[in-house]
Structure 1
Amino acid sequence: MTFDGLMTHWMTKEIADEIIGGRITKIHQPLSTELQFTIRSNRKNYYLVASVHAMMARVQFMNGKADNPETAPNFCMILRKYLEGAIIKDFRQLGADRILQMDVDTRDELGDKAKWRLVIELMGRHSNIFLIDRTNDQIVDCLKRIPLSQNSFRTLQPGATYQLPPHQQKKNPFAYDLFELDTILQLTDHNQTAEKRLMQTFQGISSLSAIEIAERHEKQNISLAEALYGYLTEGNDNLQPTLTIIGNKSYFTPFPYTSLTGDMKTYPNLSSLLEDYYVHKLQTERIQQLAGNLLQMLKTELKKNRDKLVKLDSDLARSENAEIYRIKGELLNTYQHMVQKGQTEITVDNFYDDYKPLTIALSLRLTPSQNAQKYFKRYQKLRNSIAFIEEQKQKTLEEIDYIENIIVQIEDSDVKNLEMIREELISSGYLKRPSTRKGRMKVKPSKPYEFYATDGTRILVGRNNIQNDQLTLKKAKKEYLWLHAQNIPGSHVIVESANPSEETIGEAATLAAYYSKFRHSATVPVDYVVVKNIKKPNGAKPGFVVYEGQQNTYITPKEEIINKLRNNQPKL
Structure 2
Amino acid sequence: MPFDGLFTRAMVHELESQLISGRVTKISQPFPNEVILTIRAQRHNYPLLLSAHPSYARLQITTVPYNNPPVPTNFTMTLRKYLEGALLTEIKQRDNDRVVYLGFSTRNELGDLLPLQLSIEIMGRYSNVILIDQTAGKIIDTIKHVGPGQNRYRTLLPGAQYLAAPKQDKLNPFTDHTEKYLQLLQQYPNREILAAQLQQTYQGFAREHALYFADQLHAGAANPQQAWGKTLAYTEKPHPVIVPAGKKKFFSFLPYATSKVQQPDTLSKLLDLYYRDKATTDRVQQQGAQLFHVVRLNLQKNRKKLKKLQQTLDATQKADQFRIKGELLTTYLNRVSRGMDRIELPNFYDNEQKMTISLSKQLSPSQNAQKYFKKYQKLKNAVAYVTTQIALTKKELTYLEELETQLELAEPQDLQDIKVELQQQGYLKAQKRNKNGKVRKNKPSSPAVFYASDHTKISVGKNNLQNDRLTLKIAHKNDFWLHAKNIHGSHVIVHSSSPSTQTLLEAATLAAYYSKSRSAANVPVDYVAVRKVHKPNGAKPGFVIYEGQQTLFVTPTVEAITKLQQNKESSF
Amino acid at match of 1:281: Y
User: Residue 270 of structure 1 aligns with which residue?
Assistant: none
User: Residue 167 of structure 2 aligns with which residue?
Assistant: 167
Identify the range of structure 1 (89-98 vs 438-447) with the bigger mean alpha-carbon deviation. Answer: 89-98
Q: Residue deviations 1:353-404, cap 9 Å, x none? A: 4443333333333333333333333223222322222122112222333344
Change (3 A) 1:467 1:146: same
Matched, 1:49 2:49: yes
Contact 2:75-2:143 within 8 A present in 1 as well: no
| From 81, 91, 112, the counterpart of 1:85 | 81
Contact 2:520-2:556 within 8 A present in 1 as well: no
Q: Report SS of the residue matched to 2:35.
A: strand
Amino acid at match of 1:474: K
Q: Report SS of the residue matched to 2:81.
A: coil
Change (3 A) 1:49 1:43: same
Identify the range of structure 1 (412-421 vs 462-471) with the bigger mean alpha-carbon deviation. Answer: 412-421
Which structure 2 residues correspond to residues 406-555 of structure 1 after superposition, within 5 A?
406=403, 420=417, 424-425=421-422, 427-430=424-427, 442-447=443-448, 464-476=463-475, 487-492=486-491, 532=531, 534-547=533-546, 550=547
Contact 1:449-1:462 within 8 A present in 2 as well: no
Distance across 1 between alignment mates of 2:496 and 2:476:
9
Contact 2:139-2:157 within 8 A present in 1 as well: no
Distance across 2 between alignment mates of 1:166 and 1:506:
55
Which structure 2 residues correspond to residues 334-413 of structure 1 after superposition, within 5 A?
334-406=331-403
Q: Residue deviations 1:501-533, cap 9 Å, x none? A: 999999988987887656788998877776555
Change (3 A) 1:117 1:424: same
Q: Report SS of the residue matched to 1:164.
A: coil
Which structure 2 residues correspond to residues 99-138 of structure 1 after superposition, within 5 A?
99-100=100-101, 119-124=119-124, 126-130=126-130, 137=138
Change (3 A) 1:348 1:527: farther
Which structure 2 residues correspond to residues 186-205 of structure 1 after superposition, within 5 A?
191-192=183-184
User: Residue 321 of structure 1 aligns with which residue?
Assistant: 318
Deviation (angstroms), 1:345 = 3.0
Distance across 2 between alignment mates of 1:189 and 1:557:
51
Amino acid at match of 1:469: D
Q: Report SS of the residue matched to 1:185.
A: coil
Change (3 A) 1:390 1:167: same
User: Residue 185 of structure 1 aligns with which residue?
Assistant: 177
Change (3 A) 1:203 1:45: same
Amino acid at match of 2:277: T
Q: Residue deviations 1:197-232, cap 9 Å, x none? A: 999999779968x969x99xx9999999x979xx99
Distance across 1 between alignment mates of 2:57 and 2:102:
15
Q: Which has the larger radius of gyration?
A: 1
- For these two proteins, the number of residue pairs brought into alignment is 523
Amino acid at match of 1:287: T
Q: Residue deviations 1:153-202, cap 9 Å, x none? A: 5456789765332224679899xxxxxx7xx8269797456999999999
User: Residue 111 of structure 1 aligns with which residue?
Assistant: none
Deviation (angstroms), 1:288 = 1.6
Amino acid at match of 2:29: H
Distance across 2 between alignment mates of 1:91 and 1:497:
49
| From 252, 272, 276, the counterpart of 1:279 | 272
Deviation (angstroms), 1:52 = 2.8
Deviation (angstroms), 1:496 = 7.1
Give me the TM-score of the superposition, normalised by structure 2: 0.65
Give me the TM-score of the superposition, normalised by structure 1: 0.65
Distance across 1 between alignment mates of 2:503 and 2:476:
17
Amino acid at match of 1:537: P
Give the gaps of 5 or more residues in structure 2.
187-193, 245-249, 568-572
Distance across 1 between alignment mates of 2:154 and 2:13:
29
Q: Report SS of the residue matched to 2:59.
A: strand
Distance across 2 between alignment mates of 1:506 and 1:227:
48
Contact 1:462-1:491 within 8 A present in 2 as well: yes
Q: Report SS of the residue matched to 1:359.
A: strand
